[in-house]
Amino acid sequence: MRDQRWYIALLIGLMCLIRFSLSAVGYADPLWLMEQLSIPIDSNIQMPYIIRVWAIRDIVLAVIVAFANRSTVQTLLLACVAIDATDIMSAHLSSVAGLFNASETWSLKLTAIAALVPELMALVLLTIRKTDDRINTEKKQVKSPETVA
C-alpha cells in the first residue's frame, strides 16, 4: 500500500480495515459472529474452528497488503480478489447443498463482497495507473534527444 496515490491507498486501506476488523471479531468470538451472520450453531458445530482459520488468513492478508510496496501490492490484490470470489462461490455452493438458508448465505456472501468491492476498484485503478505510467515513459523515451542520435 506504500507509495500509492491517495485514492488507491484509501481503497486498499478500506479493504484492509474491513478484512482485519471482521476477522479480529471472528477470531475473538466466533460464536457471536455466527449469531450476527445468522449461522445456526447447532447444525454447524465445526464452524467456530473454520471461522478462526478464516480469521487468521484474513488478518495476515490484511497486514501483508497494508505494508506491501508498490511493486507487490497489485499481485496481492489479485490474490485477495481470488480469495473473496472463492468465498462467495463457497457460500453459494453451501447454500445449494442445503447447509445454509438464503439469509445465512447472503450474510456470508456480503462479508466477502464488502472487501471485494474496494480491492477490485483499487486493482483496476492500479492497472490503469501502470498502463498510464508505461505510456508516459515510452513518450519520454521517444522525445529524448539521446534516442534520436
73: CB partners within 8 A, 6+ apart: 1, 4, 12, 65, 126
Instruction: Answer yes or no: is 51 within a domain.
Output: yes
Determine the structural domain holding residue 18 and report its residue range: 6-148
77: CB partners within 8 A, 6+ apart: 12, 65, 119, 122, 123, 126
Instruction: Answer yes or no: is 1 within a domain.
Output: no
Instruction: Answer yes or no: is 67 within a domain.
Output: yes
pLDDT in tens, 1-36: 666 788 888 999 999 999 999 999 999 999 999 888
**Lowest mean pLDDT segment, chosen from 16-25, 109-118, 125-134, 135-144:** 135-144
Do residues 122 and 94 lie in contact, with contact meaning Cβ atoms separated by under 8 Å? no
Which pLDDT score, from 0 to 100, does residue 139 have?
A: 74
Instruction: Answer yes or no: is 15 within a domain.
Output: yes
CB-CB neighbours of 94 under 10 Å: 15
pLDDT at 142 over 80: no
Instruction: Answer yes or no: is 55 within a domain.
Output: yes
Which pLDDT score, from 0 to 100, does residue 75 have?
A: 93
pLDDT in tens, 32-83: 998 888 778 887 788 899 899 999 999 999 999 999 988 899 999 999 999 9
pTM for this predicted structure: 0.78
Total domain count, the chain: 1
The owner of cell 475473538 is 28
Mark 4-29 as b/e (b = at least 16 C-beta within 10 Å).
beeebbebbbbbbebbbebbeebbee
Which pLDDT score, from 0 to 100, does residue 12 have?
A: 92
Instruction: Answer yes or no: is 92 within a domain.
Output: yes
pLDDT in tens, 77-122: 999 999 999 999 999 998 999 888 888 899 889 989 999 999 999 9
Instruction: Answer yes or no: is 139 within a domain.
Output: yes
Do residues 15 and 119 lie in contact, with contact meaning Cβ atoms separated by under 8 Å? yes
